[in-house]
């Protein structure tokens, strides 16, 4: 997926912030990288579209950077929780469209929720959840929460489902569920025919209500 018409700002350029910058740039997005540490900004300059030294806890600085014009701002300030919260508050108050924030712990999460962060990420916890899901059910290649009760999952077909049709799956044709793609070998088919007979190793990409998908996966 390409995002060449999208503009993102990443505030805080530790390992997490730099990895976000790299992924966004690799997807074709325009990325402004920001940190108070000049050395970190020098590293980000080799990745991002633009990298600058700035303190986003300052209203004047955020206003000057016009972060309200960006499609999304990621606040990934690491150890300094106070700076993280203040930057989030300032960026939200000055009209940013969508602010995602990296949180360190549950207390940090609660405060970020109260000051209006649009999406909060706890990288270690989120990765732990994803790894545990894979350990519990090897058929699920990936399970990503999308917010608002929605989730996306990639399902690898095993011997139990071989010969069945996509339409036979418990979540197929359920309200709000959409099969985005079907992969067999090197071939990917968007919005596949539900009459396709499944073979071992096939992969389905499905999006829909998280509860519906979870119940469907448990019954497979």
Which residues are paired to 155 by β-bridges?
140, 204
> 156 pairs with which residues across the strands?
203
Q: Looking at the structure, do residues 113 and 132 belong to the same domain, yes or no?
A: no
Q: In this structure, are residues 152 and 144 in contact, taking their beta carbons and an 8 Å threshold? A: yes
Domain harbouring 81, CATH code: 3.40.50.720
Buried b (16+ CB within 10 A) or exposed e, 139-153: bbeebeeeeeeebbb
Question: 96, 121, 146 — which closes off a domain?
Answer: 121
Does residue 74 lie in a domain region? yes
In a domain, 12, yes or no: yes
pTM, entire model = 0.61
In angstroms, the CA 138 to CA 186 distance is: 21
Answer with the one of 68, 96, 121 that is the final residue of a domain. 121
The domain containing residue 154 runs over which residues?
126-218
> Do residue 17 and residue 116 come from a single domain?
yes
- How many domains does the chain fold into? 2
- Token pair 């402004």: residue: 32
Residue 134 sits in a domain whose CATH number is: 3.30.70.1450
Q: Hey, what are 62's tokens?
A: 């955020």
The pLDDT value given to residue 3: 55
Measure the CA–CA gap between 61 and 130, rounded to whole angstroms. Answer: 37
Residue 16 lies inside a defined structural domain of this protein = yes
Is the pLDDT at 1 greater than 50? The verdict is no
Least Cα distance to 51 among 14, 109, 99, 11 occurs for 11
Could you say which DSSP state residue 3 is in?
Answer: -
Quick: pLDDT tens for 132-166. 555 555 555 566 777 778 888 888 887 778 888 88
How does pLDDT run across 23-61, given as a tens digit for each residue?
Answer: 888 878 899 999 999 999 999 999 999 999 999 999 999
CA distance 114 to 13: 24
Question: 5: exposed, middle or buried (C-beta count within 10 Å: 0-12, 13-18, 19+)?
Answer: exposed
């Amino acid at each position: 997926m390409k995002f060449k018409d999208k503009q993102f700002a990443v505030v805080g350029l530790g390992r997490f912030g730099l990895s976000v910058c790299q992924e966004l740039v690799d997807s074709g997005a325009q990325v402004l990288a920001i940190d108070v540490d000049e050395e970190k900004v020098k590293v980000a300059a080799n990745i991002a579209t633009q990298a600058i030294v700035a303190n986003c806890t300052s209203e004047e600085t955020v206003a000057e950077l016009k972060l309200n014009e960006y499609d999304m701002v990621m606040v990934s300030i690491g150890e300094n929780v106070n700076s993280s919260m203040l930057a989030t508050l300032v960026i939200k108050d000055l009209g940013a469209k969508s602010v995602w924030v990296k949180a360190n712990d549950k207390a940090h999460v609660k405060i970020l929720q109260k000051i209006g962060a649009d999406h909060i990420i706890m990288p270690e916890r989120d990765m732990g959840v994803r790894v545990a899901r894979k350990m519990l059910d090897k058929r699920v290649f990936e399970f990503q929460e999308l917010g608002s009760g929605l989730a996306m999952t990639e399902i690898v077909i095993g011997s139990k489902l071989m010969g069945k049709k996509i339409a036979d799956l418990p979540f197929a044709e359920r309200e709000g569920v959409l099969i985005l793609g079907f992969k067999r070998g090197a071939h990917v088919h968007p919005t596949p025919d539900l009459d396709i007979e499944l073979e071992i190793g096939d992969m389905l990409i499905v999006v829909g209500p998280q509860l519906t998908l979870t119940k469907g996966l448990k019954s497979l």
